Amino acid sequence: MMGELLFSGGVFSDAIDGGRAGAEIELLPMGILARTPDGKRFEVPYRECQLEIGGFSGWMVFCRNRDRSLTIFCEDRKFPSALSSASAGILDEQLNDKLKKQKSESRRGSLIAAAVLVAIVLLVVGGYFGVRAGARAAVRAVPTSVDREIGAMAFESMELGGPELDDPAVAEALQSMIDRLAPHAALNGMEFEVHVVDSPMVNAFALPGGKIVVYTGLVAQAAEPEQVAGVLAHEMAHVTLRHGLHRIGQALGLAAAVNLLLGDTGGLVAKGSDLFQLASINSYSRDQENAADAEGARMLHAAGMDPMALTRFLEALKEEKGDLPGVVSWMGTHPRHEERIEAIRRQAAEWPKQEFAKIDVDWADIQELAK
């Protein structure tokens, strides 16, 4: 009997770092108890419990307390009947109402899915670029809070390839560059935050929502702080252009589109964070890389920083690749350097001439701290 009252699930609560954690759920005589792996306990009494059923699968049960500050959730198909039995019928009215509503929405979702499929077929027949425009419009309709949730969950779970650097001075120097660029970002709502990983890899990447990871190998390789600012601007552009969300939409396909149409972004967050844990962070398309270059250069120029610094970094990596051990990750995942350098030069030539303010950091000292 005890096994029938134990389930795998999770908890949403501000008392948890990151706001969410997996949990073992036990149905007690008076309420629902969730234990997280670090030993924290969360409980929702049956008489206060407010139920919702939905999520990405459509059948996740969310059990919330009265002020909705705590949510315990479970996707096990046996959970609703066990919840009914354990609560001695207290939750039956809510369960029956929510399950009936969910079945109705499931049928409606099937009809919407069929309609979306027909629409996609018509768009494909109508032209490839029409489909792409529709996808971009769908991403723009999703609130930026979804990007932040995906990025935060992915960052908490993914293996970074090394520890974060103990000395905060390096991260503070890079954050000052980001803070100078951020007011000129094309999209509001992103909270840019840099993390420096102690690893010889010459690499950097950005997660949806604004978390940017830079490896000490890249700091060591850059001859000047402006070169790192160029890399940061490029990665910030991936965030503001929402390339990560586009990648997730492409990977998850029609099921994600249907859930978004129904206003359900919870499943997108969970699946998206899983995708960023497993997939290559830098595997953007050629068009996305070109767009990030152009937008990053624009941000640099608007912030009074030299947009050609990024081209100098690309040229340095190209010249020294053969002499560096292993694979130079940031260059290896950003191909066609000559084309990219020439495109940035053409773009910069169209802007009015101006004096660029140097970044006020002791770069030699920062590089020494990053060793």
Active-site positions read 235
Beta bridge partners of 35: 24, 41
Kindly tell me the burial class for residue 224, based on how many C-beta atoms sit within 10 Å of its own C-beta (0-12, 13-18, 19 or more).
Answer: middle
Radius of gyration of the chain (CA): 24
Q: CA distances (Å), 237 to each of 63, 140, 222, 240, 340, in order?
A: 38, 15, 20, 5, 15
Positive or negative: CA dihedral 323, 308, 224, 289: negative
Q: Which two tokens stand for residue 187?
A: 């999209």
Residue ranges of alpha helices (H) inside 182-265 are 216-221, 225-240, 243-252, 254-261
**Is 147:190 a contact under the CB 8 Å cutoff?**
yes
